[in-house]
Structure 1
Amino acid sequence: MKEKNLDYNSIIGLFLILLILTVFTYFNTYNDKEFLSNRFAEEKRISSFDKLSFVSKKKSKNDCVLENEVLRLRISSLGGMINEVFLKKYKAYDLIHVSHNKNLYLIKDSSFLYKMIFWVNSNKKHFKKNLISTDTLYFHPFFFQKRGKLMILIMRARNPYGVGFIDHIYTLNEGSQYHVDFHVRTVNLFPSIGKKTISINLEQKVFSLEKDRNWENSYTQIYYSHNKNSHSKVQSLSEKKSEERNIYNLNWIAHKQQFFATIFIPKKPLKNFFIRSENFPSGIFLKKIQSNILLKIKEHEEINIPFQLYFGPLDFSLLKKLDQKIENIIPFGWGFLKWINKYFFLVIFQFLEKTNLNYGVIIILMTIVVKLILSPITYKQYKLSAMMKLIRPEIDEINKKFRNSDPLKKQRAMMELYQKAGINPMSGCFSALFQIPIFYSLFKFFPTLINLRGKSFFWVDDLTSYDSILELPFSIPFYGNHVSLLTLLYSLALLIYTKISNNVSSNDPLINQKNASDMPFILYLMPIIMLLFINSYASGLSLYYFISNIINIGLIFFIKKFLLDENKIRQKIQENKKKPTKRHYWKYRIKEIMKKKKDF
């Protein structure tokens, strides 16, 4: 049977990529139509009564508003806590109008609840203990002052069972900062405080804000940092199932969405913290997150609990300024993939972003820069392929000669041929394996980059979500219920690149005749596989891969025409064959194995 000219490095790379995509897709599958239809119906119902509900709901006169350039907070008189957070520079996706044009509220209409519970002694003679829950108390604006760029607001509630007050103090910077200092204290209340244990309860229902609920839900989860063995450690709860956990020595906790987060940062680590998350299968909310904190205060001591709250985007530079490794909640991938995204792709992207060009153009420029950086690897890979094709007749001869012989003899002859020709066959495998982490890291880069959120490019309305030129009345497994033009273009470019990169470049008619049909069929499956798997991925990813393959095609023609001379390569191979062979490790090992086998 005639031997096939298989490119084993490409096949190994293909199977690794297929495995990665299968696992990645498996953990992100859901019923598109059910989720979208339920959410669409819910949004339509809310939008119909939105204006009416705002008119009928009378805001208390004691409700206060704090705002700066990027943030607007409404503090309710009932409970004295934030009941509305509006981000001025961002918009939420509107399924009805199919665009990012809704005002973006991280918190609204009691989606966030806060209460502190503790016991106080009554001033009456029979010494009765009473429970205070701050969510039932009415707070009024007791003090407001601007100190430079800082705005300070104190909301005060009276102890309903005697003397003393409870203050909620808010401090907000007038600039473009997304964090607010929140301070809870009591005034002249300590003689009345009964049990010295205080319970703080938090609850937030996380809004769905993006186009693709599937992707948004897969990126919405709880992250937290806690001290363990004198080291801070960042961990997370499951994004797919309901989960609860007790945390000790908590440094901070983040209710993270795909592009935004609500983060609680206590000034001192909290020793006893309980957290629970619950998923919503449909509707306008993604998750319900509940927390409970138990604090002990000393005898004759007032309550004094400082926090910092962050309501804003998952912007790497902003989160890094918080200086507690909070930027690690941006899901850039695990292990070294995270480093590739943070210190390679993100750096290149931020540099090109300064050009103020369209973000689609920035992705194209980023692709060109990355391909130029990796061009030496491409050159070596293509040169190895050319050299392998030139010694193909000798490889075929060895295969024919040792067809029915000991495989070790055949392997030994192959290694001798590679050594004489000056070829290291493992270098091609290393090149392929080196590019796989880069390939996969991009799957985490584009869906999490807030700079691309809502940015358009030609027919694409959001580079962090899929583009669609046709909606299908049915859903295809893995593919989805829409047609992405960028995915089609990428698959076509990949097919052309696969065909060109595996064509025989030799002018020898015998080689051409022998290898014309030797391209393994499995390599042609790659465009089909990618067409199925990335149809619902971020359009920025499809754009990057499309341009990347166009550049690859151009590089092949450029390298073949200007950099590689097959006659010189053939001459170099012949010169290497005439040189005395050096002792080769693998040749020596094979010889030793054969010797032992013969003695045995």
Structure 2
Amino acid sequence: MKDKNLDYSSIIGLILISFVLIIFTYINNDNNSSFKKQNFNRQKNFSKKEIFITDKRKKNDFFFLENNVLKLKISSLGGGIHEVLLKKYKAYDSLLAYHAKLLYLIKNSSFLYKLSFFNKEGLNIDTNTLYFKPFLLEKDKASRIKTLIMRAKNPYGKGFLDYKYTIGEKNQYDIGFSIQTKNLSHFIRKGSYFNLEHKILSLEKDRDWENSYTQVYYSISDNPNNFSSVKYLSEKKTEDKNIYGANWIAHKQQFFSFIFIPEKMLKNVFVRSENFYSGSFLKKIQFRTFINTVKNDEFHFSFRFYFGPLDLNLLKKYQNGFENIIPFGWGFLKWINKYFFLIVFQFLEKTNLNYGVIIILMTVVVKLILYPITYKQYKLSAMMKLIRPEIEKLNHKYRENVFKRQRAIMELYHNVGINPMSGCISTLFQIPIFYSLFKFFPTLINLRGKSFFWVEDLTSYDSILKLPFFIPFYGNHVSLLTLLYSLALLVYTKFSNDGRKDFHQKESDPSIPNMNFLLYLMPIVMLLFINSYASALSLYYFTSNIINIGFFFFIKELMLDEKKIIIKKRKL
């Protein structure tokens, strides 16, 4: 059997990368395709100078609390948060094709919560049916915290219920919230059910892609040492779960999150996540828990709400493990993104250059770091081409004895200083880096809404042409960056594969199919698989292949001395 005219380390690397791509894309496309198959003021400013209290109990009034980054609109009906505006971010506007709309994490009561009390006679109080009046608004000059107390009377007699909201004056994305009763101990039997429902709004360009990043995360203490672990519900399908020992629960979107943080660990919480397949909402998330009270005591329950961005440095400040909800990948891929790519990116970000330029510079830095591995691969490929005639002679000489042929080839490798496995090891080393970028760019909030030439958002796909039909895997649009990357990959493959036929002296065994076409299949595979991914990913890979082409000529012309290799080979 004759040796084929191939660089086997390239073939193995191609197969491994293709395998990873197929699995990764299947996981994401399975989710996205399931989405596509189913189709289902009056306002009053409440400031320090003016408190408006309505006498029309059945009319809903709104009151505001805000700081530098948040603006909360609180409803008198139910006393809950009616709207949450993030002041420093914008939502995607499909008419303008970029992020231009005000960004509301909560809007038009898409976020509802209530307490349910029952007394011995079976009477029921649901707080979402009560009308609350502003009882107190104060500002603590020392702590710079604003406090708003909303009060509702017991509809069955004496006693009342207070909702207390607190917000920091500066750049805090979390707010304090406590519920306390007064003279209602006779009404509260053993405690109360707390129910919360959150319909998550779509904020990004690609609704289906955004939904694939939207899910429930939660932290639990599930061991004797009270160490916390972070777990999550499925992002693909409807799922419900009983959680025991919950420290916090997060409703995570692609770039933003709501986090429910109780003052004390919740012993038992029922959580349900349900997908919407059309409209302005992505998912509906509900949870319910029972809060015990001491016998004949008043009810008091405190917790915090976080409404804000998935910014790693910001979330780490809370020291509660919130940063683990950013989907940087699994296992060691997560470590590569957090402690390699993110550090390089943040360092380059200080240059204040355009984010597309930062990605290009980031690619250059990474390629320079990996240069020793790249050089070793190119050197191995060049030496394998030079000894190809000797390998074919050995194949012909020992074609009837496989064992002797393999031993003779291994001796040849040893004599010229080749370790054929080093190419595979180098390829395997680069696969985690290759794959981790698929999780890095679509989740990096620093890139959200940032443009580069014709690209309006580096965390989403760029589109130069909208197709009137959908192509499986590819999508219904044409990404120019993906086309450029695939073309660069094709050129690099041709340059790196040229010259091998010069050493193929005899006709190949017709019983063995020529597998050279696999090397040229990769650009087509990548064109199909990453057309709908973040344009930053395509930009990175395009730049990477341009650098690879440059490295190829630099190493071939200046670093490798083929004459010395030939002289060494002739001494065998």
**TM-score of the pair, normalised by structure 2:** 0.91
Provide closer, same or farther for how the CA distance between residues 301 and 31 of structure 1 changes in structure 2, counting only shifts above 3 A. Answer: closer
**1:429 Cα deviation after fit:** 0.5
Paired letter, 1:215: W
Q: What is the aligned partner in structure 2 of residue 598 from structure 1? A: none
Which residue identity is paired with 1:325?
A: G
Measure how far apart 1:415 and its partner are: 1.6
Task: Report the counterpart of residue 357 of structure 1 in structure 2.
Answer: 353
Q: CA deviation at 1:187?
A: 2.5
Query: Which residue does 1:412 correspond to in 2?
Result: 407
Q: Which moved more, 1:14-23 or 1:451-460?
A: 14-23
Q: Tell me the SS of whatever aligns to 2:123.
A: strand
The question of 1:12 aligning with 2:12 is answered yes
For 2:520 and 2:507, locate their aligned partners in 1 and report how far apart those are by CA, in whole Å: 16
Contact between 1:73 and 1:86, CA under 8 Å: does it hold in 2?
Answer: yes
Tell me what 1:239 maps to: 235
Q: Would you say 1:511 and 2:506 are equivalent positions? A: no
SS at match of 2:196: strand
Partner of 1:591: none
> Does the 8 Å contact 2:269/2:287 carry over to 1?
yes
Matches within 5 A, 1:71-220: 71-120=70-119, 128-148=121-141, 149-190=144-185, 192-220=186-214
Give the 3-state SS of the residue equivalent to 2:400 in structure 1: coil
Runs of at least 5 residues in structure 2 that lack an aligned partner in the other structure: 45-55
Aligned AA (1:399): N
Q: 1:346-383: per-residue Cα shift (whole Å, max 9, x none)?
A: 11111111111111011001000100110110011111
CA distance in 2, matches of 1:267, 1:31: 35
> For residue 441 of structure 1, what is the aligned residue in structure 2?
436
In structure 2, the partner of 1:478 is 473
Report which stretch shifted further, 355-364 or 418-427: 418-427
Residue matched to 2:367: 371
* Contact 2:493-2:519 at 8 Å conserved across structures: yes
Give, as a single letter, the amino acid of the residue that structure 2 aligns with 1:416: E
Aligned runs of 1:237-276 on 2, under 5 Å? 237-276=233-272
Return closer, same or farther for 1:357/1:60 CA change in 2, 3 Å cut-off: farther
Q: Secondary structure at the match of 2:237?
A: coil
Maintained 8 Å contact 1:151/1:171:
yes
2:29 equivalent in structure 1 = 29
> Partners in 2 of 1:519 and 1:37 — Cα distance?
37
The CA distance in 2 between the partners of 1:537 and 1:189, in whole Å, is: 55
How many angstroms apart in 1 are the aligned matches of 2:341 and 2:448?
17
Report the count of equivalent residues.
552
Kept after mapping to 2: 8 A contact 1:206/1:286: yes
Deviates more, 1:430-439 or 1:18-27: 18-27
**Would the alpha carbon gap of residues 187 and 514 (structure 1) be closer, same or farther in structure 2, given more than 3 Å must change?**
farther
Residues in 1 aligned to 2:461 and 2:111: alpha-carbon distance in whole angstroms: 31
CA distance in structure 2 between the aligned counterparts of 1:38 and 1:518, rounded to whole angstroms: 44
Letter in 2 for 1:17: I
Distance (Å, rounded) in 1 between the aligned partners of 2:98 and 2:544: 28
Instruction: Write the distance in 2 (CA, Å) between the matches of 1:95 and 1:289.
Output: 26
Structure with greater helix share of residues: 1
**Residue in structure 2 matched with residue 455 of structure 1 by the alignment:** 450
* Greater mean alpha carbon deviation, residues 143-152 or residues 21-30: 21-30
Verify the 8 A CA contact 2:355 2:451 in the aligned structure 1. yes
- Which sections of structure 1, spanning at least 5 residues, go unmatched? 43-51, 122-127, 578-600
Out of 277, 282, 291, the residue aligned to residue 295 of structure 1 is 291
Q: Relative to structure 2, which stretch is displaced further, 549-558 or 170-179?
A: 170-179
- Go from structure 1 to structure 2 and tell me whether the alpha carbon gap of 1:140 and 1:568 turns closer, same or farther (over 3 Å shift): same
**1:315-326 maps to which residues of 2 (within 5 A)?**
315-326=311-322
**Contact 1:65 1:73 survives alignment (8 Å):** yes
Deviations 1:83-121 (A, max 9, x none): 100111111112233221111111111111100111246
Distance in 1 of aligned mates of 2:555 and 2:263:
59
Could you tell me which amino acid in structure 2 is paired with residue 424 of structure 1?
N
Q: 1:158 to 1:54 in 2, by over 3 A?
A: closer
Does structure 2 conserve the Cα–Cα contact (< 8 Å) formed by 1:490 and 1:546?
Answer: yes
Change (3 A) 1:513 1:409: closer
1:346: which partner in 2? 342
Measure, in 2, the Cα distance between the counterparts of 1:285 and 1:568. Answer: 66
Change in 2 beyond 3 A, CA 1:556/1:54: farther
**Matching residue of 1:333:** 329
- Summarize the Cα distance change of 1:172–1:572 in structure 2 as closer, same or farther, 3 Å threshold: farther
Q: Over the residues paired in the alignment, what is the CA RMSD in angstroms?
A: 2.7
Shift in alpha-carbon separation, 1:255–1:97, aligned structure 2, 3 A: same
Q: 1:135 to 1:10 in 2, by over 3 A?
A: same
Pick aligned residue for 2:563 from 564, 567, 575: 567
Name the counterpart of 1:70: 69
* C-alpha spacing 1:38/1:238, structure 2 compared with 1 (3 Å): closer
Post-superposition Cα deviations, 1:223-263, rounded to whole Å, max 9, x if no partner, equal: 11111113311111111111100000001111111111111
Distance in 2 (CA, whole Å) between partners of 1:7 and 1:84 is: 60
Q: More deviation in 300-309 or 517-526?
A: 517-526
2:93 alignment partner AA: D
Query: Is the CA contact 1:275–1:291 (under 8 Å) kept in the aligned structure 2?
Result: yes
SS of equivalent to 2:29 = coil
Distance in 2 (alpha carbons) for counterparts of 1:372 and 1:243: 45
Contact kept in structure 1, 2:36 and 2:277, CA below 8 Å: no
1:285, distance to aligned residue in structure 2 (A): 0.7
Residues 5 and 504 in structure 2, CA contact (< 8 A), matched pair in contact too: no
2: distance between equivalents of 1:573 and 1:318? 59
Letter in 2 for 1:501: S
Deviation, 1:393, is 1.7
3-state secondary structure, aligned to 2:375: helix
Instruction: Give the whole-Å Cα distance in 1 for the aligned partners of 2:440 and 2:395.
Output: 45
Amino acid corresponding to residue 557 of structure 2 in structure 1:
K
CA deviation after TM superposition for structure 1 residue 569, in Å: 3.1
Q: Deviations over 1:300-358 (max 9, x none)?
A: 32222111111011111111112111111111111111111111111111111111111
Cα distance in 2 between the residues matched to 1:355 and 1:93: 27
SS in 2 for 1:28: helix
- Given that residues 220 and 244 in structure 2 are in contact (C-alpha distance below 8 angstroms), is that contact kept between their aligned partners in structure 1? yes
**Structure 2 partner of 1:308:** 304
**CA displacement 1:450-497 (0-9 Å, x = unmatched):** 111111100011111111111111111111111111011000000011
**Is residue 422–residue 573 contact of structure 1 (8 Å, CA) maintained in 2?**
no
State, as a whole percentage, how many aligned pairs show the same letter. Answer: 65
In 2, Cα distance between equivalents of 1:163 and 1:311: 35
Aligned 8 A contact 1:117 1:132 in 2: yes
Paired amino acid for 1:423: I
Query: Which amino acid in 2 is paired with 1:216?
Result: E
Alpha-carbon deviation of 1:536?
Answer: 0.8
* Amino acid across the alignment from 1:212: D
Contact kept in structure 1, 2:112 and 2:196, CA below 8 Å: yes
Contact 1:35/1:213 (8 A) holds in 2: no
Distance between the aligned counterparts of 2:349 and 2:516, measured in 1? 41
**For residues 36 and 2 of structure 1, what CA distance do their matches in structure 2 show?**
50
Where 2:259 maps in the other structure, the secondary structure is strand
CA distance in 1, matches of 2:296, 2:32: 58
